[in-house]
Amino acid sequence: MDEDRIYTRRYALHVRDSPTSMDGVHPLTAGPSIDTTLVGAVPTKSHATSPFLSQVDNQTWIIGNELWNLTQGPKYGVQLFYKDHDCVGDAVGHYVSYNGAASDLGWTSASIVKQGSYRGADYIDVAFTAVEGEMHWVIFSGLAGAYQYFVNHALPVLGEFRTLWRLDNTTFPRGKTNLKDEALPPLSDYIAQNKVQDETWLRPDGSGYITKYDLTDWIRTQTYYGVYGDGFGSWYINPGKDYYNGNHLKQELMVHRESATGDAVQLNMIHGTHFMVSSSDVFPDGKMWGPWLWYLNDGSKEDAAKKSKKEFASWPYKWFEDEAYQSRGSVTGQLVLSDGRPAANAAVFLGDNNPNKTALDMGSDYYYTSYADARGRFEFEDVRTAHYGLQAWSNGSKIADVTTSFLHNDVVVTKSRNTNLGSLKWNVSKKTKIFQVGDFDRTSYGFQYGGAPNQHALIASCPNNLVYRVGYSKTSDWCFGQTYLGNWTISFDLPDTPKNAAARNATLIVSLAGYSSGASSIILANGEQIGNLTSGVPRLLNDPSLYRSMTSAGEWRYFEFEFNAGNVLKGGANDVTFQMTRNTTWHGFMWDSVVLEW
């Protein structure tokens, strides 16, 4: 346990017994003033009539309102009192850190930077200052919880940046995301000799695995998530998602059991890398994450869902008086494929202008996701004013055959105006398609086990050898991932040997929904090598999706392998084979689509 945290907890426990402040006034009955710095006891009950900040010493503060209060030390927020109950107990509490647990932010000061009233409720904005930036708590009277946001000033180049709660495991025994709602595993089930890899254990009865990665969700579609039990719930509600890194397919860990201590963990991965190759971003001074709502209740999921709907309807928050935050416009347009079809249901993304990263890897600024309708029309509302690059790609369905992506730079968003891009032409391949296995949508959906509930080692259920017969096999006959040594073959027929020059110029397109290193494959057409997929040279970099419970996507990769079909293919039966030549347990290839065209 961190030395600063030990000091904070011991000090908090000591001053908790003191009934009055140094001037004889209890901080929670000191009157309605909300900008006075008070020195006194750590409150165990909430009697204040207004939000408050109370200073105990130069390393300890108390924040809260009439419903809850938290003792904040130099790093950790401890003794969270709600309904006369300490929700942190012996757990670590609340903190902010980057690059995993390598760097916890240390708070040097706290102050009320703004106070006001909105719709009859008083509020204060409390800023805790660290070298890297400011963590803000916006506390309203009558609200169980607080809005939070972080403003960067000197964060280093990093991959992971997060805020989180580590809470009492008896008060919060369950975890919920949009995808899962279940009891957190008992700490007694984490047996050292059963550990198989990072944060993954074989269950004591051998029935499966315990891993924190099962409780992962898509960040762009999550509505509310958290930990809860009988009488208490702690939830994150993030209605605005423009401060997140990544695109539609960004997934993040959200809740889990801390395996070393048993704490119930509620993660707010506002810049994450859990299922990516990497994400090292430079942040401009003033980059803001949030505001989001941290919400306390009696453990009711129905109440949390109702609160979530209200917050989503209220975003962007009108009470948040920040000029850059409030300066927003909209973008509309229509995507039409070069073959005349509308780009129905395409995934559409507003990201970096003139990008040098993939959409999933972007994270320095602000990002927006949407989907086109059946006519290819799209709309982005409440977009921060800036210059953007618009991207689009197939999301399956009616354009599942489209292998190309779309990019349109220099999209200018101005305050309170709509930028209408009109009709945008999206060029698609003019080549003749010989076969396609799987929809082009950057996911494993449609394949066997593709999109199954997150679970460790599911790829081990896929076979060593597989034959897919074009025109006879179903998409679900192809498994979502390949991990074992062996041959996966696509068998197809041609009416004749390709003779003209255009037909001889064949391209095999391989689209991977994810790849976990330690696996290599050579690609054969009728026994002749036409390409390879390898973690050697050329190097295919690792994303942890397959060995961290993901079944739908990791980081998307796209490859084209050109070859002379006239020399390789023939009339009648042909085959393309992915021959796994090197493997590692639970690592390998997660498939999106395989296409042959000329």
pLDDT for 502: 64
d(CA 48, CA 70): 13
In this predicted structure, what is the pLDDT of residue 23?
Answer: 31
Q: How many domains does the chain have?
A: 3
Q: 133: domain CATH number?
A: 2.70.98.10
Co-location of 231 and 271 in the same domain? yes
pLDDT at 245: 97
- Judge if 44 and 108 occupy the same domain: yes
Residue 36 has a pLDDT of 37
Structure confidence at residue 25 (pLDDT): 29
Sign of CA dihedral 371, 374, 376, 378: negative
CA dist., res. 60 & res. 234, Å (int): 23
Which residue, chain included where needed, has tokens 């999209």?
A: 411
State the burial class of residue 441 (Cβ atoms within 10 Å of its Cβ: 0-12, 13-18, 19+). Answer: buried
Judge whether residue 335 has pLDDT over 70. yes
Give whole-number Cα distances, 237 to 48, 135, 242, 325, in Å: 25, 17, 14, 18
- Interval 406-454: pLDDT, tens: 999 999 999 999 999 999 999 999 999 999 999 999 999 999 999 999 9
pLDDT band at 21 (very low <50, low <70, confident <90, very high): very low
Task: Label residue 465 by pLDDT band (50, 70, 90).
Answer: very high
Q: Do 344 and 400 fall into the same domain?
A: yes
Mean pLDDT within 228-245: 98
> For the segment 295-318, what is each residue's pLDDT rounded down to a tens digit?
999 999 999 999 999 999 999 999
Q: What is the mean pLDDT of residues 13-38?
A: 33
In this prediction, residues 123-132 reach a mean pLDDT of 98
In this structure, the dihedral spanned by the alpha carbons of residues 220, 222, 223 and 229, taken in order and rounded to 10 degrees, is -150
Do both 34 and 59 map to the same domain?
A: yes
Q: How large is the C-alpha radius of gyration of the chain? A: 27
Q: Are residues 12 and 88 in the same domain?
A: yes
**What pLDDT is stored for residue 318 in this prediction?**
97
Residue 140 and residue 152 in one domain: yes
Residues 388 and 280 in one domain: no
Look at residue 100 in the predicted model and tell me its pLDDT.
74
472: domain CATH number is: 2.60.120.260
Q: What is the DSSP letter of 95?
A: E
Return the pLDDT at 76. Answer: 98
Query: What average pLDDT is seen over the chain?
Result: 91
CATH code assigned at 363: 2.60.40.10
pLDDT digit string, tens, across residues 163-209: 999 999 999 999 999 999 999 999 999 999 999 999 999 999 999 99
Residues 206, 288 within the same domain: yes
**Are 437 and 353 contained in the same domain?**
no
Question: Which one of 283, 310, 325 terminates a domain?
Answer: 325
∠ CA 112-114-118 to the nearest 5 degrees? 125
Residue 31 has pLDDT above 60, yes or no: no
Domain co-membership, 415 together with 439: no
pLDDT at position 536: 62
- Which of 310, 325, 340 is a domain's end point? 325
Give per-residue pLDDT as tens, 76-108. 999 999 999 999 999 999 999 998 767 999 999
| Mean pLDDT (whole number) for 132-139 | 98
Based on the fold, state whether residues 34 and 109 are members of the same structural domain. yes
Q: Report the alpha-carbon distance of residue 281 to residue 201 in Å, rounded.
A: 32
Task: Report percent pLDDT > 70 for the chain.
Answer: 90
> Which ranges in 153-277 belong to alpha helices (H)?
none
Asked if 338 and 305 sit in the same domain, the reply is no
- Of 397, 426, 455, the position where a domain reaches its end is 426
Query: What is the model's pLDDT at position 99?
Result: 86
- Name the residue range of residue 417's domain: 327-426
